[in-house]
Amino acid sequence: MARSGQNGTVETHGRYRMKIYEDVADGQRVGKWHPICPIKGHTKAEAKRMAKEKIAAMGINTTALLVKACKPVVTFAQAAKVWETDFLSKMRPSSQNSARYILKKHLLPRFGEMSLDDINAKIVRAWITDLDNADELAPKSISNVWKVLRLILEQEERVARTWKLNLPEIPYKEQRWFTQDEIRRIVEAAKGQYKILFYLLGVSGFRAGEAFALHVEDIRFDRGLIHCTRSTFKHIEGPVKTKAGF
């Protein structure tokens, strides 16, 4: 990757400016003009000196910049596609559904065309602030959106867990539970198969998806037991949410 350095071509165009060649993908170079200083009060020799200082500050002549430019650019959209195939496809159906919605609605519009190298803590903090100021998502939802972004970045070995972010505080809200009397009244008002379903949910603690996924063979009439071994989401059966559910 040896190459000669460049000092920039200095000329006047309303002011002093310099043309330098910057590395882009595939090892190519593109010429770009950069302003240096006003013509008034500066000689061309001074403009050339300032051009050299600016080139040094930009690192144009460094091998490190060339190595970075020659690396294939991986966009967030490309990384997200790999994550969908290799990781998301192995998650529970309900998790797949929500993650794909988050990708389409919140992540790809903001980060899709960005290079992974350009996504850092500062960029993510600004994005979280925008989500919070838009007042369209609850703090818990913003946290969930960030978790999907973090999973994709971590797949690509980008630092994410150690970033200091400005996630909005999730307010504590006590879970609403039905009382025994409320459960009794719901069951009494239900019709047909729903009467059995609501009674089962009320006395067992099953999640709805777990109750919907029960098979006849899961019921042990001889022992008075019901085995919960699966859950369902949009007619697709999968494992229960946690091992404690078995």
pLDDT digits (tens, 9 = 90+) for 181-222: 999 999 999 999 999 999 999 988 899 999 999 999 999 988
Does the pLDDT at position 176 exceed 80? yes
Residue 90 confidence (pLDDT): 85
Lowest mean pLDDT among 4-18, 94-108, 141-155: 4-18
Are 15 and 39 within 8 A, CB to CB?
yes
Does the pLDDT at position 1 exceed 80? no
Lowest mean pLDDT among 36-50, 55-69, 114-128, 173-187: 55-69
Sign of CA dihedral 225, 230, 234, 236: negative
Are 192 and 77 within 8 A, CB to CB?
no
Name, in order, each residue with C-beta under 8 angstroms of 169's C-beta and a sequence gap of 6 or more. Answer: 139
User: What pLDDT band is residue 23 in, cutting at 50, 70 and 90?
Assistant: low
Residue 61 confidence (pLDDT): 77
User: What pLDDT band is residue 160 in, cutting at 50, 70 and 90?
Assistant: confident
Q: Which residue has the higher pLDDT, 22 or 237?
A: 237
